Amino acid sequence: MSGAKHDDPRALLASYLTQLAEAGEKDICLSSETVALVRGAASSQSGESGAAQTHERPRASQAPDVSQGTSVPLNRAVERPRETEAPQRLSVGEKAALLPELEPIEVKLALGPATADPDMFVEASHLGSCTCLDEIERISLACEKCELAGTRINVVFGAGDENADLMFVGEAPGANEDREGIPFIGRAGALLDKIIEAAGFRRENVYISNILKCRPPNNRTPLSSEIAACVPLLAKQIEIIAPRIICTLGLPATQTLLGVKGSMGSLRGKVYAQGNLKVIPTYHPAAALRDPKYKRPMWEDFLRIRKEYDKL
Ligand code: URA
């Protein structure tokens, strides 16, 4: 400590750390503020000033590899982020647990015969006797209840775990889904997969379906007549799967299930409940692909799903 000013604690600390570094200490971790403080002291101690420094100071991202056993000049000590700078270290479950509780809004889901077109009753009674998804799928494959039967390549019935506690309901198949007969396998599907995984779920453990089982030409918005014709299939799927949480993706799915009008912005961010089934709406992944501003609220909705799921 020969060069340190003994009356300046900053200079003493700087001198001590310099000695540690020169002695081969490999892992000197300091908060950003301490580094700034000590650098200031070290500069004045060595006579450096501003631009006239002998060594250029690397930014944190350029920190040397101290694992190689080289001596570490003080001005290259590794900056350790403060605890408060590292919330990303929380697991998704921990982040979800931090969300405030939301009182569920009681609803009557608009999936029963009362909300549908009279024609639907015939379909509904056929469906009424189904006891497994395969039987409903067989009915859907033969369905000609709307004009989409004439333009589809495949009926996209749904995919996933028949016993899932978590179900996603999208709008309608797109071109890729129509070609393959599997929901959400295009770009929107890739984003959905990513968010599902990021929220700590696995695609094979959830169930994914759509309001419409056939692709509308040019991916246009489903007509209310098409929704009315198709929704009994979804209602029966939901009855058999008996999920505890349904996440509706986008406006048509949200409005159809909840039986309400309103914008996505006004409908999301809430938990709806019918008995022990909860509905959590969020934006459609295609909307988030078109405009990234939807990614943040979408992620918040997925944290909400995580939170509710962890309470099951
Ligand atoms: N968009 C949807 O709503 N559903 C799909 O299956 C694919 C894209």
Question: Ligand 1: which atom is nearest the Cα of residue 176?
Answer: 7
In the prediction, which pLDDT does 189 show? Answer: 98
pLDDT per residue as tens digits for the range 153-194: 999 999 999 999 999 999 999 999 999 999 999 999 999 999
Name the helix (H) or strand (E) containing 159: strand 159-160
Within 6 A (CB) of ligand 1 lie 170-174, 177, 183-184, 186, 188-189, 210
Is 67 found in the same domain as 21? yes
The total number of structural domains that make up the chain: 2
In the prediction, which pLDDT does 23 show? Answer: 58
Is 257 found in the same domain as 159? yes
In the prediction, which pLDDT does 59 show? Answer: 39
3-state secondary structure of 52: helix
Is 144 found in the same domain as 290? yes
CB of 161 closer than 8 Å to CB of 237: no
Is 128 found in the same domain as 211? yes
Question: Ligand 1: which atom is nearest the Cα of residue 249?
Answer: 3
- Decide which of 80 and 260 is more confident: 260
Ligand 1 centre distance from Cα of residue 289 (Å): 13
Confidence of residue 40 (pLDDT cuts 50, 70, 90): low
Task: Count the alpha carbons within 13 Å of 18 in the hemisphere toward its beta carbon.
Answer: 18
| CA distances in angstroms from 156 to 149, 175, 179, 209, 224, listed in the order given | 12, 11, 9, 8, 19
Is 157 found in the same domain as 104? yes
Please give the Cα distance from 222 to 203 (Å, whole number). 25
pTM, two decimal places: 0.72
Q: Please give the structure tokens belonging to residue 300.
A: 């918040």
Question: Ligand 1: which atom is nearest the Cα of residue 285?
Answer: 1
The shares of helix, strand and coil residues in the chain, as percent rounded to the nearest 5, are: 50, 10, 40
> In a mutational test of the pocket of ligand 1, which residue from 284, 289, 290 has the highest number of ligand atoms less than 8 Å from its CB?
284
CB of 131 closer than 8 Å to CB of 138: no
Range of the domain at 139: 92-310
| CA distances in angstroms from 278 to 231, 242, 269, listed in the order given | 18, 11, 13
Please give the Cα distance from 236 to 230 (Å, whole number). 11
CB of 239 closer than 8 Å to CB of 132: no
Please give the Cα distance from 294 to 265 (Å, whole number). 10
In the prediction, which pLDDT does 126 show? Answer: 76
> In a mutational test of the pocket of ligand 1, which residue from 156, 210, 214, 290 has the highest number of ligand atoms less than 8 Å from its CB?
210
Ligand 1 centre distance from Cα of residue 8 (Å): 66
Is 139 found in the same domain as 12? no
Q: Which residue among 30, 48, 79 closes a domain?
A: 79
Is 188 found in the same domain as 122? yes
Average pLDDT over residues 188-217: 98
CB of 201 closer than 8 Å to CB of 166: yes
Ligand 1 centre distance from Cα of residue 231 (Å): 15
Is 233 found in the same domain as 199? yes
Ligand 1 centre distance from Cα of residue 182 (Å): 9
Ligand 1 centre distance from Cα of residue 173 (Å): 4
Burial readout 3-15 (b: 16 or more C-beta within 10 A, e: otherwise): ebeeeeebbebbb
Cα 85 off chain centre by: 22
Q: Which residue among 28, 49, 79 closes a domain?
A: 79
Mean pLDDT across the chain: 82
Is 116 found in the same domain as 74? no
Average pLDDT over residues 238-246: 97
In the prediction, which pLDDT does 24 show? Answer: 55
Is 287 found in the same domain as 202? yes
In the prediction, which pLDDT does 10 show? Answer: 72
Ligand 1 centre distance from Cα of residue 210 (Å): 7
Ligand 1 centre distance from Cα of residue 119 (Å): 26
In the prediction, which pLDDT does 27 show? Answer: 56
Please give the Cα distance from 55 to 76 (Å, whole number). 10
CB of 280 closer than 8 Å to CB of 247: yes
Neighbours of 296 (CB within 10 A): 10
**In this structure, is residue 27 part of a structural domain?**
yes
- pLDDT above 90 covers a percentage of the chain that reads 65
